[in-house]
Amino acid sequence: MLKITNLHAKVGEKAILKGLSLTVKAGEVHAIMGPNGSGKSTLSYILAGRPGYTVTDGTAEYEGKDLLAMEPEIRAREGVFLAFQYPVEIPGVSNKYFLKAAYNSVRKHRGEPEMDAGAFLKFIKEKAKSVEMDPAFLNRSVNEGFSGGEKKRNEVLQLAVLEPKLALLDETDSGLDIDALKVVAEGVNRMRDPKRAFVVVTHYQRLLDYIVPDHVHVLSGGRIIKSGGKELALELEKRGYGWIEDKVAA
Amino acid sequence: MIAEALAAQKEGWRYTPAATLTGPDFKPAGVPESILPLAGRVLCPVGFHRAALVNGRWEAKHAVLKLPDGVTVEPLARASGLEELLGRLVPDDLPLAKIASAARDGFVVRVARHARVDRPIHLVHISQATAAAQSSQARVVVVLEPGASAELVEETLSFGDAPSWKNVRSQVELGEGSFLRHHRIVREGTQGRLTVGLEVTLASRARYESHALNFGGLFAREDLRVRLEGEGAECALNGLALLGGSEFADHHSIVEHAAVNGVTRQLYKAVIDDKARYVFDGLISVKPGAQKTDAQVYNKNLLLSEEARVNTNPEFKILADDVSCKHGGAVGQLSLEALFYLRSRGIGADEARRLLVYAFGSEMVDRVALEPLKLALADALHGRMPEGNL
């Protein structure tokens, strides 16, 4: 589904990714772990198409197409979804309207008819219930005044509504207490599907207790320096990142 | 005469392109050959009481007035008993209002003690200039006696391709405990110029809710003067300007707190695209003895192009010591973070921009309490959204 080969990227003049390669197949859950500043968020943003990054070398193919050549909205309509580490507040745009606009633009792209307001409201209320979100949040402005946990829950709600093929979760666990973390993880687990892949970017192993990955990768210095199964995450939790980085340096 | 009057106004006209007014050779507008129908031209929904001025003259054909007892809407030319109000001097810094004082026609709205107008009153100011540049003068007088209440929608429009200029002097007198909602919708088109000098006085516990809504036009300037004369008077001043092309809008206001316990809440917003320009100058002046004044003045602007310009100046002059006063001005562009967030959910770049601009402006439309008017304004807001070439 996703094939990243030798990806190099910089922000301004600063090189962040330095030859990253990663292959993700449908149905898989990959965790990308790494210390702060290793390039985790940069990777998520580049895959989603955020402006401000320059890819200097390498490729990212999504379902055989050049992902990096697509506008951000096309990536989304094609089934790529980024759950933001810091979801953006948008005063004046109701959450409900935002979700409907997003949902219908994806449907339109797929050649499906747009859903009318009444049907959508019913649909969205069910989805909100599934992530234990108070329906009152649907009428509020997007993320405005939401707590950290509510914002993350809203990201998972969008995930549930848009039903992407490839979901990138960027530090979805940051700022969550254990109860909120469980709700978010359950929301994600419910979405696991043989046709859908997840890339879970996280600093801590804690999230992976609830979203159990098939593969774990260590990102450091802009490259993946070690890959393994879920046990690698436990080892990282115990021993930190230093031992791998030392080994690679040696 | 106009050029001289404006030339003498250095201070408040620094950012206002007076040449737009003095350039064309305006002649007093006459009665047009045919009166164009209002249907499809006015934004305000039907079903309101209605009166109209065409080129500064009361047009009986447009009047739809079945008013309840205690409420009158009449042409200035026929109104009586207003000598004191009509004869009141115009402040020296409102030279155009001084000129409009000589107007022979206009609207007079009176609501008797404790009377309530059943439906909003729609007052339409129309310029109809087809060949040569035409100007017209008009006066508006609104008097609410103690305890009365009314909802007023003034709409200004220009028909025809020739340059037109409407110059209006308005006076609003709000008696003790009265309440007026006053909407002013400007849709002047590419040749329309509008200048308004609006003076409002509030007696004790009177409330004035104002919505200055500019949906475009070559040139529109409103000088709003609000005087909170009696104690406990309150005013809410809302403003929105949506400007593109080479349009210009100017909102000057002075709110004078002359008594204790007065409240002012002022928020004006502007969306400025292309080469348009906007000026906001909002002064709140707290007089000696106007203790417990609670006043706020804010202006927020969204610039959508490199060449769009705004001059903003919210300020206070405070001569009392026990007051709460806040002010602020902001000029910004669309948030790139918000744009990316919307796009990352599949919403196209152009739609995302429109959504954000709409969200910025809709705050002011949402403040309009008259439901049918609010819907019409929301449509108009949609119609003024930028196209994809941002």
**B188 with B157: CB under 8 angstroms?**
yes
Q: How many CB pairs under 8 A join A and B?
A: 78
- Nearest 5°: the CA angle B85, B88, B90 is 130
Q: Residue ranges per domain, chain A? A: 2-249
Reduce the secondary structure of chain B to three states and give it as a string.
Answer: CHHHHHHCCCHHHCCCCCHHHHCCCCEECCCCCCCCCCCCCCCCCCCCEEEEEECCEECHHHCECCCCCCEEEEEHHHCCCCHHHHHCCCCCCCHHHHHHCCCCCEEEEEECCCCECCCCEEEEEEEECCCCCEEEEEEEEEEECCCCEEEEEEEEEEECCCCEEEEEEEEEEECCCCEEEEEEEEECCCCEEEEEEEEEEECCCCEEEEEEEECCCCEEEEEEEEEECCCCCEEEEEEEEEECCCCEEEEEEEEEECCCCCEEEEEEEEEECCCCEEEEEEEEEECCCCCCCEEEEEEEEEECCCCCEEEEEEEEEECCCCCEEEEEEEEECCCHHHHHHHHCCCCCHHHHHHHHHHHHHHHHHHCCCCHHHHHHHHHHHHHCCCCCCC
Percent of chain A at pLDDT > 90 equals 76
Contacts of B338 in chain A (CB under 8 A): 88-90
At A82 the pLDDT is: 97
**B91 with B46: CB under 8 angstroms?**
no
Pick the closest to residue B270 from B295, B249, B297, B253 (CA basis). Answer: B249
End-to-end CA distance of chain B: 42
- A95-109 helix and B336-343 helix, angle to the nearest 10 degrees: 50
Contact B359 A90 (CB under 8 A): yes
Point out the residue among B340, B352, B358 whose CB comes nearest to the CB of A50: B340
At A177 the pLDDT is: 87
- Interval A213-227 mean pLDDT: 94
The CA–CA distances, whole Å, from B263 to B171, B173, B182, B298 equal 20, 17, 17, 14
Pick the closest to residue A218 from A229, A210, A207 (CA basis). Answer: A229
| C-alpha–C-alpha distance, residues A28 and A194, integer Å | 8
Point out the residue among A73, A93, A103 whose CB comes nearest to the CB of B343: A73
Residue of B nearest to A71 (CA): B343
Contact B347 A102 (CB under 8 A): yes
pLDDT digits (tens, 9 = 90+) for A44-97: 999 999 999 999 999 999 999 999 999 999 999 999 999 999 999 999 899 999
Give how far A27 is from chain B: nearest CA, Å: 22
Contact A76 B341 (CB under 8 A): no
Superfamily of domain A2-249: P-loop containing nucleotide triphosphate hydrolases (3.40.50.300)
Contacts of B357 in chain A (CB under 8 A): none
pLDDT digits (tens, 9 = 90+) for B355-377: 999 999 999 999 999 999 999 99
- Nearest 5°: the CA angle B61, B64, B66 is 140
At B131 the pLDDT is: 83
Contacts of B359 in chain A (CB under 8 A): 90-93, 141
Residue of B nearest to A73 (CA): B346
Pick the closest to residue A34 from A249, A232, A177 (CA basis). Answer: A232
Type of residue found at A232: L
Look-up: residue for tokens 């206002």?
Answer: B16
Sheet holding B294-303, edge to edge: B57-58, B49-54, B121-128, B149-159, B179-187, B207-214, B234-243, B263-272, B294-303, B324-332
pTM for the model: 0.89
- For the beta carbon of residue B24, count every other beta carbon within 10 angstroms: 18
Count the residues in chain A: 250
Point out the residue among A89, A91, A158 whose CB comes nearest to the CB of B345: A158
Contact A73 B347 (CB under 8 A): yes
Sheet holding A29-33, edge to edge: A80-83, A166-170, A197-202, A29-33, A215-220, A223-228
| C-alpha–C-alpha distance, residues A214 and B69, integer Å | 79
Compute CA B342 distance to the chain's CA centroid, rounded to the nearest angstrom.
34
| C-alpha–C-alpha distance, residues A143 and A4, integer Å | 32
| C-alpha–C-alpha distance, residues B48 and B66, integer Å | 10
| C-alpha–C-alpha distance, residues B138 and B80, integer Å | 17
Point out the residue among A51, A88, A106 whose CB comes nearest to the CB of B346: A106
Is A20 strand, coil or helix? strand
With 0-12 / 13-18 / 19 or more C-beta atoms within 10 angstroms meaning exposed / middle / buried, residue B313 is middle
**B240 with B250: CB under 8 angstroms?**
no
CA dihedral A36, A38, A44, A50 (to 10 degrees): 90
Look-up: residue for tokens 């939401």?
Answer: A146
**Residues with pLDDT less than 70, chain B:** 1, 387-390
What are the residues of chain A with a beta carbon less than 8 Å away from any beta carbon of chain B?
Answer: 48-51, 71-73, 75-77, 81-82, 84, 87-93, 98, 101-103, 105-106, 109, 141, 158, 162
Give how far B185 is from chain A: nearest CA, Å: 22
Does position A144 have pLDDT exceeding 60, yes or no?
A: yes
**B345 with A159: CB under 8 angstroms?**
no
Point out the residue among B338, B344, B356 whose CB comes nearest to the CB of A76: B344
**A240 with A204: CB under 8 angstroms?**
no
Contacts of B341 in chain A (CB under 8 A): 84, 87-88, 90
At B387 the pLDDT is: 61
Contact B342 A92 (CB under 8 A): no
End-to-end CA distance of chain A: 34
Give how far A155 is from chain B: nearest CA, Å: 10
Contacts of B347 in chain A (CB under 8 A): 73, 98, 101-102, 105
Give how far B45 is from chain A: nearest CA, Å: 25
What average pLDDT does the structure give for chain A?
Answer: 93
Count the residues in chain B: 390
- For the beta carbon of residue A141, count every other beta carbon within 10 angstroms: 18
Point out the residue among A72, A84, A93 whose CB comes nearest to the CB of B359: A93
pLDDT digits (tens, 9 = 90+) for B52-65: 999 999 999 999 99
Give how far A2 is from chain B: nearest CA, Å: 17
| C-alpha–C-alpha distance, residues A198 and A213, integer Å | 9
Point out the residue among A72, A89, A109 whose CB comes nearest to the CB of B344: A72
Residue of B nearest to A85 (CA): B341
Contact A49 B345 (CB under 8 A): no
At B389 the pLDDT is: 37
Look-up: residue for tokens 């005087």?
Answer: B227
Q: Residue ranges per domain, chain B? A: 2-334
Point out the residue among A48, A90, A101 whose CB comes nearest to the CB of B338: A90
The CA–CA distances, whole Å, from A21 to A8, A41, B383 equal 10, 15, 48
β-strands B207-214, B179-187 pairing: parallel
Does position A250 have pLDDT exceeding 80, yes or no?
A: no
Is A144 strand, coil or helix? coil
The pair of three-digit structure tokens given for residue B211, joined into one six-digit string: 């919505």
Contact B346 A73 (CB under 8 A): yes
At A183 the pLDDT is: 86
At A205 the pLDDT is: 86
Contact B362 A92 (CB under 8 A): yes
Contact B345 A93 (CB under 8 A): no
Q: Please report the ipTM that was assigned to this predicted complex.
A: 0.96
Contact A88 B341 (CB under 8 A): yes
Contacts of B337 in chain A (CB under 8 A): 88
Point out the residue among A90, A91, A102 whose CB comes nearest to the CB of B346: A102
Give the contacts of B349 (CB within 8 A, at least 6 positions apart). A71, A73, B339, B343, B388
CA-CA-CA-CA torsion sign (A27, A29, A30, A36):
positive
Interface of B with A in 335-374 (CB under 8 A): 335-338, 340-349, 351-352, 355-356, 358-360, 362-363
Contact B359 A92 (CB under 8 A): yes
Is A19 strand, coil or helix? strand
Contacts of B336 in chain A (CB under 8 A): 51
Give me the residues paired with residue B254 across strands. B225, B283
